[in-house]
Amino acid sequence: MDSAVSAVDRAALERRLGHVFSRPEFLVRALIHSSLANECPQAPEHNERLEFLGDAVLQLAVSDALFKFFPQAREGELSAMRSRLVSAAFLAGRARDLGLDKLLLLGRGEEKQGGRLRDSVLSDAFEAMLAAVYADGGFEAARVAVERIFASFWLDGCGRPGKPKDDKTRLQEETLRIFRERPIYTRKTSRGPDHAREFEVVLRLPDGQEFTGSGTSCKRAEHDAAHKALSALDASKRLSD
């Protein structure tokens, strides 16, 4: 059943998780729904045991991240944020982000009934996948995966409603998700008369890429550079997917 997950799909998922499986069979098991095992007795063990383990790993990893990223939050606030982050609807969204909905191995009956679209099935698959990371690489690997997958939610208060995100915020979220580091902005030059000043800023990504932005203020120059960097990252992502 290892061939059920192609090398290309596995590599793409591993990049998003920040973890390369030394034992890919854990990942395969995480993607096997009980409906397939019920229809095919020769199929390997399905993902329900991993789901049980993943639920506990997720609770601890999310609690650890909330404790770190929100040092001023009280116990009640932390509990409320954790409740939202481990809800079935939220986890199903993250499963779709990772492409687990396309990789799941379902029985024919479950497939016909729309199981691939159901939040309950996808959230269970997410927990099983996290348990697979834990079983393969230990808690540190699982913690890193959770921080990467939920990166944007640590930055904006766990997804609470707010104004639309600007390019600088979006870029910071992306660099934290991809590189686990923030971009660096450096003022380069300014020229022109005081009433029509033009500023240049150099933005450096953690992988060494640099982008130059310009504007009538440092802030606008930074946003211009961030916009260029986002465009480059989006283009790179489309090529790799």
For the chain, the first-to-last Cα distance in angstroms comes to 23
167 is annotated as an active-site residue: no
127 is annotated as an active-site residue: yes
Catalytic site residue from 14, 55, 101, 119: 55
Catalytic site residue from 127, 147, 173, 174: 127
Could you please report the per-residue DSSP string of 88-100?
Answer: HHHHHHHHHHHTH
> Are 29 and 45 in contact, with CB atoms under 8 Å apart?
yes
| CA 10-13-15 angle, 5° bins | 110
Report the alpha-carbon distance of residue 88 to residue 123 in Å, rounded. Answer: 5
Phi (first) and psi of residue 186, to 5 degrees = -130, 125
Q: Which residues pair with 204 in a beta bridge?
A: 184, 210
Helix (H) or strand (E) holding 10: helix 7-17
**Which residues are tagged catalytic?**
55, 127
